Structure 1
């Protein structure tokens, strides 16, 4: 019994010593959260609106999940007088919705498809004591740490703005309690074949020189 207690005490001492060492090196969970800022990858979606003469959908040239580039053919429309009109993609991206099918009547103003753009972004929330590390148009590395094979892509600081919704956060300073100012930082993220909206994006502020 005495030997078991000695083993338990030894394990506890090792854990305490290891935790103290990590904390001293800034590797504890709190320290990591302070400098490794995470956000959710997002992208704008564009609704393609038909803007030509009334007609009938004659041909659908794109499907859900297809990658398209600006100028790619999405639909062919047969007009009442027998001629044809083409509906083209106005952006690079991925088709996420097709709203019409062959034979459908169509008039100007009808939505026909949704294209999710490949210009990605993520929003990070940074404390006032760290915001000096980031400047508009600054290049940063954006990691996606939770993929099976984590990747790193280029990013650019697109905007920096105060985040008043975080005004209720407080911290202890030498002269009492004070509000912690937080800033919303939008990062434009380069396109990559493995990226999808909803993924976790991460920027390590410790890798950015003061």
Structure 2
């Protein structure tokens, strides 16, 4: 059972999300909060696996709340949900440690799938989001020279996984493409992040383009 915390300053929005998520047999909404400070307190009280976080809220906003939540040991995964498709929100959310970014105009099915993806330890980095991240952090930067940032020695399978990860595929999609189990992909991804010395999939994507491993 995945424990979910809903954070939004609009009670009606929280109610709608609760109805959608609680209808799933594997998801359980364990708490709600109306602003960032309430979110931090609720997370400490309920120990959620996933936090659905609004951005614009009174007091402490969702981006700073995300930063504080993800900095704590055993932090939950944070799915940022916003009405506004703004690049500054996207990049600030990812920099704050969010594992996913979804517009509130998404379908109920997309919300459910996003929560499940984050609960599995994966990141919701769609191809469209990947392209925007690359445009901001990767393609705009000159490639690193081999002496400055060469990729470590990856196995052939890790290289295949890394190339698909750089295209924005989820673990499940990579597993399907390579005809292997999702657990195997998760192991490869963990090894890749460790060898690259990067924190998460977003940084891995940027590194893939900056190093010249893949090209826009």
Q: Give 1 or 2 for the bigger CA radius of gyration.
A: 1
More strand by share: 1
More helix by share: 2
**Band the TM-score falls in, shorter-chain normalisation:** under 0.3
